[in-house]
């Protein structure tokens, strides 16, 4: 059984794919922090000084939303880039 490993079963491919996923999350984390800073600043300009609860809620909401979007986007790239999307529909081979 000399089966060629593909996708995440291949260690080299998996290493590359997960590194790319972590890189996407790192950049999205940075974008989230910048967006949170801008959001807190803008809300402070519009409504005046924010309380600490409002500030923490804004930071958590903005960073959490951006990171969730980045994680879902990264998983879509991971799935497509490693061939999992093509492997699901294997009807042509059988």
Q: For the chain, give every domain's residue range.
A: 27-83
4, 19, 46, 49, 75 from 29: Cα distances, Å:
36, 15, 25, 26, 15
Model pLDDT, residue 9: 76
Token pair 């959490």 is found at 64
In 1-50, beta strands by DSSP E: none
Entry field: residues in the chain: 94
* Cβ-based burial of 53 (10 A; exposed 0-12, middle 13-18, buried ≥19): exposed
Report CA-CA distances (Å) from 27 to 63, 85, 93. 12, 25, 38
Interval 71-79 mean pLDDT: 89
Structure tokens at 18: 């997960």
More confident residue, 11 or 54: 54
Give tens-digit pLDDT for 15-60: 888 898 999 999 999 999 999 999 999 999 999 999 999 999 999 9
């Amino acid at each position: 059984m000399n089966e060629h490993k593909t996708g995440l079963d291949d260690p080299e491919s998996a290493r590359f794919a997960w590194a790319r996923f972590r890189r996407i999350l790192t950049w999205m984390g940075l974008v989230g922090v910048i967006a949170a800073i801008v959001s807190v600043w803008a809300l402070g300009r519009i409504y005046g000084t924010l309380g600490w609860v409002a500030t923490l809620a804004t930071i958590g909401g903005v960073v959490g939303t951006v990171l969730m979007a980045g994680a879902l986007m990264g998983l879509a790239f991971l799935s497509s880039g490693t061939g999992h999307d093509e492997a699901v529909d294997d009807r042509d081979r059988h």
